[in-house]
Amino acid sequence: MNSCRKAILNAGVLERGATIYASGSEGNNKLNFDRLVESPLHLETVLRYMGKAALSYDPDLLMGIPTGGERLAEIMAGTNHLDLPIARIAKQKDLPGTKTFDYKTTDDEKLVLASKRIVLIEDVFNLFTSTRGALAVSGVLERTQAVIAVWDRGRNHPARNIPPVPFQAMVSEHIPNFLTPERFNEILNREEAK
């Protein structure tokens, strides 16, 4: 997956700046996947790996976790990487440390209830706040085969609450919430994840 990591970082996805993560914690860096979408060549590399990972679960439905995962799922479904329908969910509440979602439309709910094998798409795993919120939508958990993300930045975090379904990321590399400028540059310039 080193080519995925390289594509992501070359697209400028890792950014410095004050941010608040889905968990409610603060940091001075973030993974901004809008940058990846703006870089078609790098996006193609990542989508190729994500599509292969998603198809390994033989899904009959794709669902993106808002907002980054939703955008990636829509792009994936619009390319030759996956030919699957997409069900959509929308944020209901954003409280620090929790995310609540529900179906965007009754048609989205019908798609989920008629499916047997859903793959959820996420942009970043950290503490799985958004993932747990998506899995709590009525009918989603029992049909979900896996959650696929671009980057897992929280793999060593002590407060991490693992979801009750298989999950995988194209890149699994811990990025602390706070990075010194030197550590930031080290991540960008390192060839392989440790």
Nearest to 42 by CA among 152, 154, 150, 189: 150
Domain of 170?
2-189
59 found inside a domain: yes
13 found inside a domain: yes
Neighbours of 63 (CB within 10 A): 31
How many Å apart are CA 143 and CA 156, to the nearest integer?
A: 28
How many Å apart are CA 134 and CA 89, to the nearest integer?
A: 8
Q: Which is it for the CA torsion 3, 75, 121, 112, positive or negative?
A: negative
110 found inside a domain: yes
Name the band, by pLDDT with cuts 50, 70 and 90, for residue 193.
very low
Quickly list H helices, 22-166.
Answer: 34-37, 40-55, 68-77, 106-114, 129-135
The 10s digit of each residue's pLDDT in 162-174 is 889 999 999 999 9
**Which pair of tokens denotes residue 24?**
């409610």
**Which pair of tokens denotes residue 171?**
């890149």
185 found inside a domain: yes
| Contact between residue 120 and residue 69 where contact means Cβ atoms under 8 Å apart | yes
60 found inside a domain: yes
pLDDT of residue 192: 54
The 10s digit of each residue's pLDDT in 128-152 is 989 999 999 999 999 999 999 999 9
Here the CATH number for the domain that contains residue 184 is 3.40.50.2020
Name the band, by pLDDT with cuts 50, 70 and 90, for residue 80.
low
Question: Which run of H or E residues covers position 98?
Answer: strand 98-103
Q: How many domains does the chain have?
A: 1
17 found inside a domain: yes
Question: Mind giving me the DSSP string for 128-176?
Answer: -HHHHHHHTSTTTGGGEEEEEEEEE--TT-TT----SS-EEEEEE----
pLDDT of residue 194: 44
194 found inside a domain: no
Euclidean distance between the first and the last CA atom of the chain, given in angstroms as a whole number: 13
Highest mean pLDDT among 2-6, 15-19, 128-132: 15-19
Q: Which is it for the CA torsion 123, 76, 118, 2, positive or negative?
A: negative
